[in-house]
Amino acid sequence: MKYTQLTLAACAALLFSNVALAAPIKFKAADVNADGFVDAAEFAKSGVKKELKSLDKDKDGKLSKKEYSVIFDEECE
């Protein structure tokens, strides 16, 4: 019985960890150096499937919180 419960708990943990890794992370977590922007290196680790260029509306090579939030707005549509 304990083996079954342990196996189920391990499977659930694995499932939820994969779901978390597949989703893009929030702006505050993506902005590792806390400078108020997500630069190219931070963006590469964010889990976002889009290209930085397509989200970077002011073409400064980094994303503001407003630019980054478009990712989550599009997911909700």
Report pTM. Answer: 0.66
pLDDT of residue 33: 97
**pLDDT for 4-55, tens place per residue?**
766 656 655 555 544 444 467 899 999 999 999 999 999 999 988 899 999 9
Contact (CB, 8 A) for 51 and 67? no
pLDDT of residue 18: 43
Domain boundaries, the chain: 24-77
- The better pLDDT of the pair 6, 57 is held by 57
